[in-house]
Structure 1
Amino acid sequence: MEELRLQDAVVFLAAAALVIPIAKRLEWSPVLGFLLVGLAVGPYGLARLAEQHEWLRYVLVTDVAGVRALAELGVVFLLFMIGLELTLKRLWGMRRLVFGMGSAQILLTGIAIGAIAWSFGNSLEASVILGSCLALSSTAIVMQLLTEQGRFGTAVGRGSFAMLLAQHLAVVPMLFVVGSLGARAGGSLAATFGLAITEALLAMLLILGVGRLIARPMFRYVSSLNSPDLFMAATLLIIIATAAATHAAGLSAALGAFLAGLLFAETEFQHEIAVNIEPFKGLLLGLFFMSIGMIIDPLEILANPMWIGLSIVGLITIKTVLTAGLARLFGFTRGQALEMGLLLGQGGEFAFVVIGYAALFALVPLATAQFMLIVVSATMFLAPLIARVARRLGAAIDAREQSGAEPHIDVAPDLEDHVIIVGYGRTGRLLAELLDRQHVAHVALDMNADHVSGLRAKGAPVYLGDASRTAMLEKVRLRHAAALVVSADDQHATERVLAAARRLSHDLPILVRAHDSTHAARLIAQGATQVVPEVLEAGLQLGQLLLQHIGLPADAAREVVEIERAASLSALAPRSDDKRPG
């Protein structure tokens, strides 16, 4: 890894302290803030004046190499988290979008861009490589934008995530293709591609197989020692070691981290690992976005503005048109399709890896590689702004087409294992934020039209609808949901929603916010899986604070309250001879 100067780290941490609060205050994406700061403090920004003003070297970044080396760890941790959350059940549930729509997007976009590259005089090998890697989008940017906007529960969020998953799976054979093309002395392109696919699959199976034999037993032993520090160290060891192994084998380090995440998906360690890694991922991703801003040279763009400008517009246009067209074929509305196309229209971080790897083997001319990296960087820089416009355009198009009609519930037709939230007040929004951070799909229903309209304008996956109607619950695919949460203020409305849900599903987990213990007991008798009486919970929390203020240690106060909470909730449970409605 290149040397990282300490002042570069200081510049980054200072930028993070400024960007995040300012972005929240202005309701901008922090991604855009980090990109702008990177452009300003990087070697092609204010650092150009460092020769005339020596003191600027201590407050700006004059060499991006060391920063980029560390910034790539942000993508490594992001891909690890995606692999950690990608259970086989979840992948199978999204198989139509991942292997159907996602694969078609990579193939069609790659062919279109590759044909254009070939028409400009590039070799067949260079055209295939450029078409393939430019078909990919930026996982780091799109995932961050979806999380910030709370969009995972919408059809756009699910469709975009499916395409990104397909692209992750495609990167492995892409890198093998580049390596095989660079090493081959002859033979056909088709044979090289087939060999690369076989090698990629064998490498993935080897890593996953060896990982299961070593990593899981090691974590069971570490967990038995009950040492949080050792558990954290073991987690970082697995991530970095797997990433280093794949990098040494000629693959992307980020892909190694993705495979490491898959090792722990659906294990008892999954959630503990996710909580430990989240702070590293967020901070290092910010550094990654800054590094993208640092490598954009405005003077280079001004020196060749026409071709760079046309290439930027052309790349975004091609990807938007093809992605939106495929989304329409797979059942998305016009507004959703357009938003997905624009959201995924930028180039991705894997383009830096693939193009750099190809340039190393002289498969892509160095001048062409540098030109395309500028184009990719510029499209990534524009992505947050384009995403804001895309969301508004998509909402306007769908609103116009649905004018006067019954409100449309834009959940994906194959949505599964999602959470349905009924009542989108303060409690409902808090639950939605928690689910967004865990990348869990969710949809919400609320009866306040003005409230819903304002939240939908901000991109929230909430819809106007009466959840006490079974037809409305079927629209949000209640039979395929992982859980239903009811957080309505009206006690009678809550009971009607519970009755409607139980008519559709007898075994779905239903969690309900109750007014008091009497209301909670009634809900339990009517079929609620679990209830939280708000009066009881408020009293218990106040009681814990009171005990601490009068001198009881915090742990003791917490234990007393937990005992009381367990006793109170146990009293609400139905007797063994009670019969749940069904």
Structure 2
Amino acid sequence: MAVETQGTDLIQLVALLGAGVVAVPIFKRLGLGSVLGYLSAGVVIGPFGLRLFTDPQSILHVAELGVVMFLFVIGLEMRPSRLWSLRSEIFGLGLAQVLTCGGLLTVLGIAAGFAPAASFVAGMGFVLSSTAIVMQILDERGETSTPGGQRIVSILLLEDLAIVPLLAIVTFLAPAHEDAGETSRWLSIAIAAGAIAGLLVVGRWLLNPMFRLLATAHAREVMTAAALLVVLGAALVMQLGGLSMAMGAFLAGVLLSESSFRHQLEADIEPFRGILLGLFFLSVGMSLDLGVIARDWPTIVMAVIGYMALKSLGIYVVARLFKADHSEALTRAAMLAQGGEFAFVLYAAATASGIFTANVNAMMTATVIISMALTPLAVIALKWVLPKKEQSLDGLDIADGLEARVLMIGFGRFGQISAQFLLSEGIDVTAIDDDVEMVRSASRFGFKVYYGDGTRLDVLRAAGIERADIVAVCTDSRENTDRIVELVRSEFPLTKLYVRSFDRQHTLKLRAQGVDFEIRETFESAFAFGVQSLLGLGLSEEHVAEVASDIRSRETERLAIQQSGGSVTYTNVHGKLQPQPLTVPKRAPKALNEEAEKATADAAE
């Protein structure tokens, strides 16, 4: 019997991991994001899908630790000084949004015929956006540290704080607790304040000495265990104090944000955070009660549409009042329009207190989960709603009527370094780039760069290509490079063409197009790196020079073979790549064929 139980547990574990491994890559490839992949996978393997799980709440309780660890990692990035600088956004913008949206949703519930107390709890629960989903989307979009992302983080922090007074309000509104004494309420407040104070004391004076002591043991697993202890211990203290576990983890992270162990802690927590956060989304998907949706779908559909639309409107209005532009306000409304994981806590407390019936709780929970699932789709839809940002050309010189010996197309890192050689010898260089910020940035460092798209014939003529001795193509895009080379070779066949190549195959293609010079962007730097590595290991300069000469000549031979239509294959012999017999076309010179059979592997590319 025990073996059978263990087998069932193992099947469920494999199903959890397998569902995430299969669904997430598919949804990310479709551009729908990992969150929607996890939610969909949860529905498939849950009680209303394949029924591999019948009690998603048991998994949800464990998976909530993913949110806890996520907040800890966010706290590590929030130094106290940085958090203090966001105080106006947290307690100004965040509070304004919570109160505005809470009022709108409460009125909507009353208008729909619900009791005022139930309408208030339902609306305020939906106001608490999903920290896990929003932070995951911000992270995937690389916007967590942007000003707009920081404002969203500030709002989420305020909403997480709001769960504490909201739970207290549920106690006041509960019919069964009308005669509850003031003593118990003040005692709860005192316990919560004591939990916060205790956590601050431990974090301020005990955590750093503890990690310094553990570091002297030089036991990696002990440091990992200590990191988990800090996160889970802080969460437990806050939970015992009647507060949010996630808020406890966040405070612990903030207290350790200026510690010398911050990066080590983040590295230790990251694997657990990622896996548990995935499990959280899976369990939320499993919790979607399809039976309730089938029975009460008109009410749930109206609730999802009404709540998300009204909350989005409130968020947009508040954002505009706080001087956000249309694009940022609309983005914020789309990201924060859903209900969140703390709504489940608030609705469970309302059900236990008699404010909600079990059926209302099920419908509101389904409403929140559906809104969470719709959020990634709403964010994707923004691409079609928001107009593309047009680059301002104010203050920029447009390429027109120019003349120089060298026309350089693309002025990124590669172009900047190359241009210094020419400018140092007093050679006239006309540099053009279609990146506005690059043009402005170059001007601040003393480079004169003109705005222009090198893939357009009229721009090339205006930039003086007909009078240039050399056209240097240094763009950061292989596709743009190919278009420019084809254009120049077609319209200006006698112009010398020097091109930045991206890899071996690109080099062969450029040579076939007859460019005068090409160089792979990393070849020479990697070559110099290899030379210095041998010198650093104590080999003589003469021997290193001989090795470098041999490798360079063999690389030239390999390219010549491939350019003439041959191929080079390798096999692993005792841990080293060795060349196999080559397939060389009959037109290749005999000497080249003999040398090719001695070619070594191209380990770099």
- What TM bracket, shorter-length normalisation? 0.5 to 0.7
Alpha-carbon distance in 2 for matches of 1:170, 1:193: 17
Whether the aligned pair in 2 keeps the contact of 1:76 and 1:253 (CA below 8 Å) is yes
Whether the aligned pair in 1 keeps the contact of 2:32 and 2:380 (CA below 8 Å) is no
Matched length? 431
Please state if 1:542 is matched with 2:530: yes
Q: What residue in structure 1 maps to residue 164 of structure 2?
A: 172
Q: What residue in structure 2 maps to residue 56 of structure 1?
A: none
Q: Give deviations 1:358-409, integer Å, cap 9, x for gaps.
A: 3223233332222111100110011111111124423x1x64xx698759xx
Q: How does 1:242-321 map to 2 (within 5 A)?
A: 242-321=234-313
Alpha-carbon distance in 2 for matches of 1:388, 1:424: 30
Distance 1:62 1:333, change over 3 A: same
Q: What residue in structure 1 maps to residue 502 of structure 2?
A: none
Identity of aligned residues (%): 35
Q: What residue in structure 1 maps to residue 72 of structure 2?
A: 80
**Matched position secondary structure for 1:151:** coil
Alpha-carbon distance in 2 for matches of 1:374, 1:96: 34
Whether the aligned pair in 1 keeps the contact of 2:39 and 2:281 (CA below 8 Å) is yes
Q: What residue in structure 2 maps to residue 94 of structure 1?
A: 86
Distance 1:536 1:122, change over 3 A: same
Alpha-carbon distance in 1 for matches of 2:27, 2:535: 39
Q: What residue in structure 2 maps to residue 15 of structure 1?
A: 19
Alpha-carbon distance in 2 for matches of 1:268, 1:469: 38
Whether the aligned pair in 1 keeps the contact of 2:66 and 2:276 (CA below 8 Å) is yes
Q: Give deviations 1:315-358, integer Å, cap 9, x for gaps.
A: 11111111111111222211221111011100011111121123
Please state if 1:40 is matched with 2:32: no
Distance 1:302 1:217, change over 3 A: same
Whether the aligned pair in 2 keeps the contact of 1:173 and 1:197 (CA below 8 Å) is no
Alpha-carbon distance in 2 for matches of 1:87, 1:45: 44
Please state if 1:146 is matched with 2:150: no
Alpha-carbon distance in 1 for matches of 2:45, 2:318: 40
Larger radius of gyration: 2
**Matched position secondary structure for 2:22:** helix
Distance 1:291 1:81, change over 3 A: same
- Decide which of 441, 451, 466 is 2:440's aligned counterpart: 466
Amino acid at match of 1:21: P
Q: What residue in structure 2 maps to residue 227 of structure 1?
A: 219
Whether the aligned pair in 2 keeps the contact of 1:180 and 1:192 (CA below 8 Å) is no
Distance 1:122 1:206, change over 3 A: farther
Distance 1:548 1:342, change over 3 A: same
- Decide which of 347, 359, 375 is 2:367's aligned counterpart: 375
Worse overlay, 256-265 or 173-182: 173-182
Whether the aligned pair in 2 keeps the contact of 1:11 and 1:61 (CA below 8 Å) is no
Amino acid at match of 1:466: R
Q: How does 1:440-479 map to 2 (within 5 A)?
A: 448-449=433-434, 466-469=440-443
Alpha-carbon distance in 2 for matches of 1:90, 1:404: 31
Please state if 1:103 is matched with 2:107: no
Q: What residue in structure 2 maps to residue 339 of structure 1?
A: 331
Worse overlay, 122-131 or 298-307: 122-131
Distance 1:74 1:375, change over 3 A: same
Q: What residue in structure 2 maps to residue 31 of structure 1?
A: 35
Alpha-carbon distance in 1 for matches of 2:337, 2:380: 13
Please state if 1:384 is matched with 2:376: yes
Q: If the length of structure 2 is used for normalisation, what is the TM-score?
A: 0.63
Q: Give deviations 1:171-214, integer Å, cap 9, x for gaps.
A: 3333344456559544899x999997776555423322244344
Distance 1:226 1:541, change over 3 A: farther
Q: Give deviations 1:449-494, integer Å, cap 9, x for gaps.
A: 4xx6xxxxxxxxx9675114569xxxxxxxxxxxxxxxxx79xxxx
Alpha-carbon distance in 1 for matches of 2:533, 2:64: 44
Distance 1:371 1:27, change over 3 A: closer
Instruction: Give how far 1:290 is off.
Output: 1.0
The answer to which structure, 1 or 2, has the higher relative contact order (CA under 8 A, 6+ apart) is 1
Amino acid at match of 1:40: V
- Over the aligned positions, Cα root-mean-square deviation in angstroms equals 3.9
Q: If the length of structure 1 is used for normalisation, what is the TM-score?
A: 0.65
Instruction: Give how far 1:286 is off.
Output: 1.0
Q: Give deviations 1:99-137, integer Å, cap 9, x for gaps.
A: 211110011111222233344555554444333222111
Amino acid at match of 1:225: A
Alpha-carbon distance in 1 for matches of 2:412, 2:367: 41
Instruction: Give how far 1:42 is off.
Output: 0.9
Q: What residue in structure 1 maps to residue 106 of structure 2?
A: 114
Distance 1:391 1:229, change over 3 A: same
Alpha-carbon distance in 2 for matches of 1:36, 1:137: 20
Q: Give deviations 1:147-170, integer Å, cap 9, x for gaps.
A: 111223544323322211222232
Amino acid at match of 2:357: P
Q: What residue in structure 1 maps to residue 554 of structure 2?
A: none
Structure 1: state its 5+ residue gaps: 48-59, 408-421, 427-446, 453-461, 472-488, 491-532, 552-582
**Matched position secondary structure for 1:364:** coil
Alpha-carbon distance in 2 for matches of 1:263, 1:348: 26
Distance 1:174 1:219, change over 3 A: farther
Instruction: Give how far 1:10 is off.
Output: 0.9
Whether the aligned pair in 2 keeps the contact of 1:44 and 1:295 (CA below 8 Å) is no
Distance 1:152 1:247, change over 3 A: closer
Distance 1:45 1:209, change over 3 A: same
Alpha-carbon distance in 2 for matches of 1:253, 1:311: 29
Q: What residue in structure 2 maps to residue 156 of structure 1?
A: 148
**Matched position secondary structure for 2:218:** coil
Distance 1:186 1:312, change over 3 A: same
Alpha-carbon distance in 2 for matches of 1:356, 1:88: 34
Worse overlay, 361-370 or 132-141: 361-370
Alpha-carbon distance in 1 for matches of 2:117, 2:184: 11
Whether the aligned pair in 2 keeps the contact of 1:23 and 1:30 (CA below 8 Å) is yes
Alpha-carbon distance in 2 for matches of 1:85, 1:225: 27
Distance 1:535 1:242, change over 3 A: same
